[in-house]
């Protein structure tokens, strides 16, 4: 038996027996559910994160991701088979290492691979023969082969011979109670057959189904194509909203009717723009890599710019509407001067505690530039967090939603339609309502007197 096949066989045997030890690098929205899924499947699992506060809270059993079952983290920790640590040296004990670190954009909108590079360097320091390393972060096609692999091979070990390497894109949909890590099929790709077989075996052991593809770059491209598809369709539906509104047609009714077609149409819905760590970012990675490869993605680039412009367009729309009511502004550059507005929902998505790249916060800033005094209400954010791209808003507090307070605003604008707020109260007491999500219609609350404006 040759060397590489002996490593392959021993790791291959430790997967069905659940003797393989799993390490997940990065315990965020992707890494933590993934680590718990490996634990649920019977594997001893550790999670490694640089953020000491997050590690401590996880070890205390705190529900650091709101939509996970309340006792899921605590019971995993109590079992003794799952724990979180900051100690990267523990990577040496793992048989399978899954890297789930952030892949944001730089200030000039290019791929920021610093976290992936740093995590790969940590793994390289501890790499030993027989380990399987899988990158899960969303990256440009070629990153596993051309960025991660050389870092790991700087250890002197060779991928596909001494250790195994591949890519599997994360498809986590935060807040989705129907599809979680365990029951979403997972694409897996590697550049050698032994790595691909091990990755396929591992994911088949922890989730519903692994979907093998012929290379790591193919698997990397799958993720970017999925997110670019959504980016383009969101831009398209927002454009349709504006065009149909000019014709006096309700886009929401059109989509509901079009969605009855059993083939060839997939509903996307208008909104205040796109946010989160994924949908706005992946198309930029694809575009950057296409240019690098001598190609281009003009349609995707146009959709990105179109989506980025939505919050400013909505702010101008709100200003125009309120100015019609209150007469010409004293200062045309600040048409909302003196107007108090309440934004409902500042997370980027319904029922998640995440404001990364949230269009609601961009809209808040735009409305203030136009002179408004803006408060917000969001049950997931009693106050706005420190750091990140909205550092200037840190510390602001969510205002309570009461009949008395709602009446004091010139308008209430629903930006992110969390489940918890009392929309009936808003419908009864708000002077004017701007609804970017069609939430009042969706949950069947009538707003009388023409006070509701879908924007």
Contacting positions for ligand NAD (CB under 6 A):
25-31, 48-51, 54, 100-103, 115, 118-119, 122, 137-138, 170, 172, 174, 276-278, 281
**What is the Cα 270 distance to its own chain's centre?**
18
Active-site positions read 278
Q: Which is nearer to ligand NAD, 15 or 32 (CB)?
A: 32
Rounded-to-integer distance, Cα 190 and Cα 192, Å: 6
Q: Cβ 227 to ligand NAD, closest distance in Å?
A: 8
Token duo for residue 228: 């670019």
State the SS3 of the chain: CCHHHHHHHHHHHHCCCCCCCEEEECCCCCHHHHHHHHHHCCCCEEEECCCHHHHHHHHCCCCCCCCCCCCHHHHHHHHCCEEEECCHHHHHHCCEEEECCCCCECCCCCECCHHHHHHHHHHHHHCCCCCEEEECCCCCCCHHHHHHHHHHHCCCCCECCCEEEEECCCCCCCCCCCCCHHHCCEEEEECCHHHHHHHHHHHHHHCCCEEEECCHHHHHHHHHHHHHHHHHHHHHHHHHHHHHHHCCCCHHHHHHHHCCCCCCCCCCCCCCCCCCCCCCCHHHHHHHHHHHCCCCCHHHHHHHHHHHHHHHHHHHHHHHHHHHHHCCCCCCCCCCCCCEEEEECCCCCCCCCCCCCCHHHHHHHHHHHCCCEEEEECCCCCECCCCHHHHHHCCCEECCCCHHHHHCCCEEEECCCCCCCCHHHHHHHCCCEEECCCHHHHCCCCCCCCCEEEC
Q: Which is nearer to ligand NAD, 194 or 300 (CB)?
A: 300
Q: Cβ 126 to ligand NAD, closest distance in Å?
A: 12
Token duo for residue 287: 């575009």
CB distance 367 to 336 below 8 Å: yes
Q: Which residue's beta carbon is nearest to the bound ligand NAD?
A: 28
Q: Which is nearer to ligand NAD, 94 or 413 (CB)?
A: 94
Q: Which is nearer to ligand NAD, 119 or 322 (CB)?
A: 119
Rounded-to-integer distance, Cα 278 and Cα 322, Å: 34
Q: Which is nearer to ligand NAD, 175 or 345 (CB)?
A: 175
Q: Cβ 171 to ligand NAD, closest distance in Å?
A: 6
Q: Which is nearer to ligand NAD, 44 or 353 (CB)?
A: 353
Q: Cβ 29 to ligand NAD, closest distance in Å?
A: 4
CB distance 127 to 94 below 8 Å: no
Q: Which is nearer to ligand NAD, 113 or 232 (CB)?
A: 113
Q: Cβ 285 to ligand NAD, closest distance in Å?
A: 9
CB-based contacts of 409, cutoff 8 Å, min separation 6: 340, 341, 342, 375, 430, 431
Token duo for residue 273: 């723009």
Q: Which is nearer to ligand NAD, 29 or 202 (CB)?
A: 29
Q: Which is nearer to ligand NAD, 166 or 276 (CB)?
A: 276
Rounded-to-integer distance, Cα 249 and Cα 246, Å: 7
Q: Cβ 341 to ligand NAD, closest distance in Å?
A: 29
Q: Cβ 90 to ligand NAD, closest distance in Å?
A: 11
Q: Cβ 344 to ligand NAD, closest distance in Å?
A: 22
Q: Cβ 117 to ligand NAD, closest distance in Å?
A: 9
């Amino acid at each position: 038996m040759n060397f590489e096949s002996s490593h392959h066989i021993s790791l291959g045997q430790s997967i069905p027996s659940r003797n393989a030890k799993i390490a997940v690098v990065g315990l965020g929205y992707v890494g933590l559910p993934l680590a718990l899924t490996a634990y649920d499947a019977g594997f001893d699992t550790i999670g490694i994160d640089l953020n000491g506060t997050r590690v401590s809270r996880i070890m205390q059993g705190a529900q650091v991701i709101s939509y996970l079952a309340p006792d899921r983290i605590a019971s995993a920790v109590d079992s003794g088979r799952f724990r979180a640590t900051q100690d990267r040296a523990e990577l040496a004990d793992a048989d399978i290492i899954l890297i789930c670190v952030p892949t944001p954009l730089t200030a000039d909108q290019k791929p920021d691979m610093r976290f992936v590079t740093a995590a790969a360097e940590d793994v390289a320091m501890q790499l030993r023969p027989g380990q399987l390393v899988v990158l899960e972060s969303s990256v440009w096609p070629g990153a596993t082969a051309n960025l991660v692999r050389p870092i790991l091979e700087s250890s002197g070990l060779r991928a596909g011979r001494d250790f195994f390497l591949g890519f599997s894109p994360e498809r986590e949909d935060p807040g989705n109670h129907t599809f979680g890590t365990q029951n979403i099929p997972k694409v897996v790709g590697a550049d050698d057959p032994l790595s691909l077989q091990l990755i396929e075996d591992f994911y088949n052991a922890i989730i519903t189904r692994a979907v093998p593809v012929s290379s790591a770059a193919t698997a990397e491209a799958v993720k970017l194509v999925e997110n670019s598809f959504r980016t383009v369709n969101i831009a398209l539906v927002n454009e349709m909203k504006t065009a149909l509104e000019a014709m006096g047609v309700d886009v929401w009714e059109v989509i509901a009717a079009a969605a009855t077609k059993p083939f060839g149409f997939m509903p996307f819905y208008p909104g205040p723009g796109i946010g989160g760590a994924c949908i706005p970012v992946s198309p930029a990675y694809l575009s950057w890599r296409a240019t690098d490869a001598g190609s281009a993605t003009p349609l995707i680039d146009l959709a990105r710019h179109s989506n980025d412009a939505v919050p400013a367009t909505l702010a101008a729309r709100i200003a125009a509407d309120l100015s019609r009511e209150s007469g010409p502004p004293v200062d045309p550059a600040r048409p909302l001067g003196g107007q108090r507005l309440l934004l409902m929902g500042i997370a980027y998505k319904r029922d998640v505690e995440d404001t990364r790249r949230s269009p609601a916060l961009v809209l808040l800033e735009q409305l203030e530039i136009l002179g408004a005094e803006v408060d917000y209400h969001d049950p997931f954010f009693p106050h706005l967090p420190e750091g990140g791209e909205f550092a200037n808003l840190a510390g602001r507090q969510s205002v309570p939603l009461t009949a008395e307070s709602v009446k004091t605003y010139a308008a209430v604008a629903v930006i992110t339609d969390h489940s918890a707020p009392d929309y009936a109260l808003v419908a009864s007491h708000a002077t004017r309502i701007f609804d970017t999500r069609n939430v009042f219609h969706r949950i069947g609350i009538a707003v009388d007197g023409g006070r509701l404006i879908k924007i």
